[in-house]
């Protein structure tokens, strides 16, 4: 009886010891499930798996670790975790001489990690993946310094004229981004496992970093986010929605963001891959986000990327041309001539992809705006508008609808010839008039006759007004003389 009691006590003791390691975080993660009942924990008593690496205790000092090639294959996962801990140390990069030795150790360790992931020498465990993403987050997710346009007590400057801020910690930050990129694109990375760590929270924090003023960082972020979008299909709707929200805040609240151009570059590639027929969600994105992006003042900083996205939509679905053209007219600049030149360039690209039916729907308001551009006192605006007639497709659309278009712009052409100060505009306007005469001489002569009649009537009205004013002036003078005689 006594022997049985002793044996029973030994068995209970061995069960409790087997769970101690996992309870303190040194065993395999699966052996300790916080959501399971106490009974289930007591039953689990596996032996420690030597293939599963243990998370080492936190390091207090930084010392160089052996290279991966200098240890056995079975020890590399544990060494990987220890190297990750070294890379979690943070340094002050405002002082280049401070902690120079430790900074170099960290830099070399980061390079080793990149080589290890890139070489594909072995599939890293789930624990190592989790700890690596944590380390990456510790390094890249940070409060960005106040931007040059924010109120920092200094005089506000135009972001377009800034030389640009360069992140002091870039020697380390660049390698961390390279590590993340290599992990995402690696064929060894299983998306079913990786999506636990590269989750919605991680993606949102990554998107926040696009506001960095360092163009080098934005370029890396652009590449990484594009790769995440391509590999993690489960994240695609969320990424599109998150980018939408950044655009909405930029358009309607701040009009300040450093990474709009890079985000649009990513979207340009995404739009190119949209399946047909296009989803309503994508059309709403065009109407609610892309077209309103023409409104902010700093549109010149990202207009090239924006224009590419717009053209992608029209080329995908030609029926969207009318929507796009009317959107451009809605946000057409009134006083900013440089923006007008950009809009005219984009308009030409859209019209190249426009079919006759869509062109007819918007041609009246479109050519009213073009007529105003033709008479612009800023010669670059007038010149860019006249250059539309150098495009064969646009000329063919105009020729098919000349009965409507020529009466709208005839007055603007005549005014240019009579009054515009720039000689080059004179020459271009005469060429456009000749083109219309060759298209339809009868229509041109009719428009010329109507224009002359209107001008004659306007001249008569002006002369009549001058006569009336002269009579009033004479009457006033006569009344003054009569008052003097009476007095």
Give the Å distances, CA to CA, from 217 to 53, 166, 171, 302: 33, 9, 11, 17
Looking at residue 98, its pLDDT comes to 84
Residue 480: predicted pLDDT = 72
What does the pLDDT read at residue 99?
84
DSSP-assigned states of every residue in 66-87: --GGGS-GGGHHHHHHHHHHHH
Structure confidence at residue 257 (pLDDT): 94
pLDDT at site 474: 87
* CA-angle at 442, arms to 440 and 443, nearest 5°: 70
Per-residue pLDDT in tens (0 to 9) along the chain, 487 residues: 444 444 444 444 433 333 333 333 333 333 334 444 433 333 333 444 545 566 777 766 778 899 888 888 889 999 999 999 999 999 988 887 888 899 999 999 999 999 999 987 767 899 999 999 999 999 999 998 887 656 554 444 454 455 578 899 999 999 999 999 999 999 999 999 999 999 999 999 999 999 999 999 999 999 999 999 999 999 999 999 999 999 999 999 999 999 999 999 999 999 999 999 999 999 999 999 999 999 999 999 999 999 999 999 999 999 999 999 999 999 999 999 999 999 999 999 999 999 999 999 999 999 999 999 999 999 999 999 999 999 999 999 999 999 999 999 999 999 999 999 999 999 999 999 999 999 999 999 999 999 999 989 999 999 999 999 999 998 888 877 766 666 5
Nearest CA among 282, 260, 262, 261 for reference residue 271: 282
Q: Is residue 352 a contact partner of residue 315, using CB atoms and an 8 Å limit?
A: no
What's the pLDDT score for residue 73?
87
Distance of CA 87 to the CA centre of its chain: 31
- Amino acid 281: pLDDT: 94
Tell me the three state secondary structure of residue 38.
Answer: helix
Distance between CA atoms of residues 195 and 203, nearest Å: 10
DSSP class of 36: S
pLDDT value, residue 390? 96
Q: Which of 164, 357, 320 is nearest to 328 (CA)?
A: 320
The single residue listed with the structure tokens 């590399």 is 76
Task: Please give the pLDDT value at position 16.
Answer: 37
Could you give the CA distance from residue 308 to residue 268 in angstroms, rounded to a whole number?
7
DSSP string, 107-165: HHHHHHHHHHHHHT-SPPPHHHHHHHHHHHHHHH--PPPPPTTS-SSSPP--GGG----
d(CA 479, CA 487): 12
Residue 345's contacts (CB-CB under 8 Å, 6 or more residues apart) are 307, 384
Nearest Cα neighbor of 114 from 202, 174, 24 is 174
């Amino acid at each position: 009886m006594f022997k049985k009691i002793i044996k029973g006590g030994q068995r209970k003791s061995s069960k409790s010891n087997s769970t101690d390691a996992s309870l303190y975080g040194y065993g395999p993660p699966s052996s300790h499930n916080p959501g399971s009942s106490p009974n289930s924990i007591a039953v689990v008593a596996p032996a420690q798996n030597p293939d599963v690496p243990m998370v080492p205790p936190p390091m207090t000092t930084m010392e160089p670790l052996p290279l991966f090639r200098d240890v056995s294959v079975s020890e590399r996962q544990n060494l990987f975790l220890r190297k990750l801990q070294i890379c979690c140390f943070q340094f002050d990069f405002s002082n280049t001489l401070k902690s120079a030795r430790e900074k170099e150790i960290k830099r070399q360790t980061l390079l080793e990690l990149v080589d290890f992931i890139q070489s594909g020498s072995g599939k890293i465990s789930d624990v190592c993946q989790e700890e690596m993403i944590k380390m990456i987050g510790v390094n890249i997710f940070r409060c960005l310094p106040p931007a040059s346009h924010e109120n920092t007590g200094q005089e506000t400057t135009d972001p377009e004229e800034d030389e640009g801020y360069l992140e002091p910690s870039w020697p380390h930050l660049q390698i961390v981004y390279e590590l993340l990129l290599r992990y995402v694109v690696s064929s060894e990375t299983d998306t079913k496992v990786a999506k636990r760590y590269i989750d919605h929270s991680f993606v949102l924090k990554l998107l926040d970093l696009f506001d960095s003023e360092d163009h080098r960082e934005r370029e890396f972020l652009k590449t990484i986010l594009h790769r995440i979008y391509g590999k993690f299909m489960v994240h695609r709707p969320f990424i599109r929605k998150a980018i939408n929200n950044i655009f909405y805040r930029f358009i309607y609240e701040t009009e300040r963001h450093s990474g709009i151009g890079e985000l649009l570059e990513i979207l340009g590639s995404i739009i190119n891959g949209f399946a047909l027929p296009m989803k309503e969600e994508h059309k709403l994105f065009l109407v609610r986000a892309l077209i309103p992006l023409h409104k902010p003042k700093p549109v010149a900083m990202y207009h090239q990327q924006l224009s590419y996205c717009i053209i992608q939509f029209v080329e995908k679905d030609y029926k969207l041309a009318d929507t796009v053209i009317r959107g451009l007219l809605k946000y057409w600049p009134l006083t900013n001539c440089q923006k007008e030149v950009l809009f005219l360039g984009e308009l030409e690209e859209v019209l190249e992809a426009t079919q006759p039916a869509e062109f007819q729907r918007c041609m009246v308001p479109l050519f009213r705006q073009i007529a105003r551009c033709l008479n612009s006192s800023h010669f670059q605006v007038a010149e860019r508008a006249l250059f539309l007639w150098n495009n064969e497709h646009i000329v063919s659309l105009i020729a098919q609808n000349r009965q409507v278009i020529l009466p709208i712009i005839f007055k603007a052409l005549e005014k240019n010839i009579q009054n515009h100060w720039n000689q080059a505009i004179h020459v271009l306007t005469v060429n456009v008039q000749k083109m219309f005469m060759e298209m339809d001489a009868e229509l041109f002569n009719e428009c010329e006759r109507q224009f002359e009649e209107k001008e004659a009537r306007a001249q008569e009205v002006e002369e009549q007004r001058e006569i009336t004013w002269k009579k009033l002036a004479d009457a006033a003078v006569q009344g003054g003389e009569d008052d003097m005689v009476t007095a």
